[in-house]
Amino acid sequence: MILLVIYYAVVFFIFGLVFGSFYNVVGYRLPKKESLVFPSSHCTVCNHKLGALELIPVLSFLIQGGKCKHCKAKISWYYTIFELLTGLLFLFSYLRFGLTASCFISLVLASILVIVIISDYKYYIIPNEIIVIGIFLLGIGFFLEGGGAFSHFSWTRAWIRLFHSIQNGFLSFLLMYGVKLFGDFLFKKESMGGGDIKLMFLIGMSIGFPLSIISIFLASIIGLPIALVLLKLKSTHVIPFGPFLSVAALILFFLQWNWLDILLLFS
Ligand SMILES: [Zn+2]
């Protein structure tokens, strides 16, 4: 049993690294409406096309010492950070939920939020495509989770679970829209982007309605010190809220961990 758990844990982690590598591409290219496939990954300085070995997540970065093999230009460590983050989130998802529909929900949420963090931090854009795909996949996840085991799948419970998750998303969306209207009134200018409000639908769907309110507070608490540092580093006056909201949602989602389940996995 324990060997099997470790085997799956390693597989999930490696898949996370590989998917994270792809999410980098999506986060950097989708907001610019670029193709996700062409051109293939290349050095942004010398355009040298990356070979198979240079595409290995994390390891290639370490082996090459964080430099392009061809022109020795420094490669941003952001890519590696997001690969590792995705790997860890995939690993957590498996450890918490095992091979279940809930694990699928966890993987979808992690994937969408990683892409949102990359894209919103870099371009201040949360692509609509990502939100729509996320809501659709989460819907499938909640439907399957509600229905239970395939051997005695309950269609009624499946539809109820799906309806509840959409209701949670909608209430969170409305609340965030209210916060925005209040902010606009208070500051006499656009206080929040439309992306954050749409993102809230997805977060509410995943972590539930009352809890999604906490994510807004938690995001502000996490965001404030980081925003102060970024304002100095990035020489900009705009700090996107989406990445903080995403991190807060992930923390709250995984805090619902039942630690006993994890111990049972290893027994
Ligand atoms: Zn290069």
Ligand 1 centroid to Cα of residue 152, in Å, is: 56
217 in Cβ contact with 252 (< 8 Å): no
**pTM for the model:** 0.91
Ligand 1 centroid to Cα of residue 58, in Å, is: 17
Range of the domain at 82: 2-265
Q: What is the DSSP string of 114-166?
A: HHHHHHHHHHS---HHHHHHHHHHHHHHHHHHHH--GGG--HHHHHHHHHHHH
- The whole-angstrom separation of Cα 161 and Cα 178 is 26
Domains: count for the chain: 1
Please list, in sequence order, all residues whose beta carbon lies within 8 angstroms of the beta carbon of residue 188, skipping any fewer than 6 positions away: none
At 131-181, the pLDDT tens digits run 999 999 999 999 999 999 888 899 999 999 999 999 999 999 999 999 899
Q: What residues does 42 pair with on adjacent strands? A: 49
At 229-262, the pLDDT tens digits run 878 776 667 788 999 999 999 999 988 755 555 5
Ligand 1 centroid to Cα of residue 53, in Å, is: 15
- The whole-angstrom separation of Cα 8 and Cα 13 is 8
Q: What angle do CA 24, 12, 91 make, to 5 degrees?
A: 85
Q: Which residue has the tokens 């844990």?
A: 9
